[in-house]
Amino acid sequence: MGGPLTIGVIGVGTISRQYFEQFPKLPNLRLVAVADLDVDRASAVGAEQGVEGLNVDALLAHPDIDAVLNLTIPQAHAEIALRALDAGKHVYGEKPLALTTAEAAPILERAKALGLRVGSAPDTVLGTGIQTARALLDEGRIGAPVGASVAWSAPGHELWHAAPAFYYQPGAGPLFDMGPYYLTSLVTFFGPVVRVSGATSRSSRERTVATGPLAGTVIPVDVDTHVTAILEHASGVISTVTVSFEVWATRVPKFEVYGTAGTLEVPDPNMFSDTVQLATADDREFREVPVAAGYADAGRGYGLADLARALETDRPHRASGELAFHILEIMEDVTRAGEQHAVVELSSTVERPAPVPLGARPESW
């Protein structure tokens, strides 16, 4: 590649701040320009970051940009990804990859035809938390894995987000918004999912914006807000996942993995570096485990830096479009299973991403 991968960011909303904070730590990435539908906002953010603030068309046509970081709302993910690929640029986007697998498939097909890369969040799984848990599993520290249990819940993002309406539209809800963190971790641990079943529901509770200039605005709810799924992995492990925007208080948010010789308490996969706890058949008290793998002190953007390094070394990148497609199909099929009261067989599969060794840096390993 001959230098840092040059980046143009499309969409400078709330999540973009986390990426901007990480860019100075990632010498194999160089921010060149930002764009947004709100050109004034793009200009302001560009000035803050010391780069050009453009409209979307101008950024896609920019000759000095190698890759587009797509931070638009989920409804625009597929359109922007395809436009960026057609402009000859690699794409890395926020989750989900698209609203549906039908939308997502052309992204991967176009990238393959053009010899370009597609990556997708979440890259939180590359941090020391999830990678340490994976290392313990691979070392057999809890024996043979049998199952996993996930429970994540909140009352709803309208209580803290100033513009939360999109969280209640297709491509979001608790499954598509929070599910990717847990599902990507589960596939990282146990490999692809072959079939799913589940149940979904939504309450009649009225949702209103609690903060900011839209406070008091009623939010239409067009997605299920409470989802429970059973995932059957090709490896034989069974995972149960519950995610909800309906829970006011709980004592049980958890992510646990059960094996023939112990239990892993897995840290929050929405974070990069929380600690792992281990209890064994011989010592049933949970005890903190030293960090054993993963990018240290990581943040959002490490998946993109990993992609840049993969381009240089001609290896697969870890936060790949193929992985994101498989996660999208899991979520789509869980929704379908809930609607049809059925067991649904998946059509896609994916390889487990390569582990991240302890002490690795995404620009050098």
261 found inside a domain:
yes
pLDDT digits (tens, 9 = 90+) for 118-157: 999 999 999 999 999 999 999 999 999 999 999 999 999 9
146 and 104 assigned to the same domain? no
Residue 1 has pLDDT above 80, yes or no: no
74 and 143 assigned to the same domain? no
User: Which segments of the chain are extended strands (E)?
Assistant: 5-10, 29-35, 52-54, 67-70, 90-93, 118-120, 145-153, 193-201, 207-208, 218-219, 226-233, 238-244, 254-259, 262-265, 276-280, 287-289, 344-345
Last residue in a domain, options 270, 289, 308:
289
Residue 326 has pLDDT above 90, yes or no: yes
175 found inside a domain:
yes
CB atoms within 10 A of CB 341: 9
104 and 139 assigned to the same domain? no
pLDDT digits (tens, 9 = 90+) for 55-105: 999 999 999 999 999 999 999 999 999 999 999 999 999 999 999 999 999
Residue 171 has pLDDT above 90, yes or no: no
134 and 115 assigned to the same domain? no
192 found inside a domain:
yes
CA distances 243 to 69, 206, 255, 266, 310, Å, are 27, 19, 12, 16, 33
C-alpha to C-alpha distance for 105 and 78, rounded to whole angstroms = 10
Q: Which domain, by its residues, includes 254?
A: 125-289
154 and 46 assigned to the same domain? no
Phi and psi (nearest 5°) for 39? -65, -35
301 found inside a domain:
no
Question: pLDDT class for 340, splitting at 50, 70, 90?
Answer: very high
> CA 265, 248, 18: angle at the middle one, nearest 5?
60
pLDDT digits (tens, 9 = 90+) for 243-291: 999 999 998 779 999 999 999 999 999 999 999 999 999 999 999 999 9
152 and 210 assigned to the same domain? yes
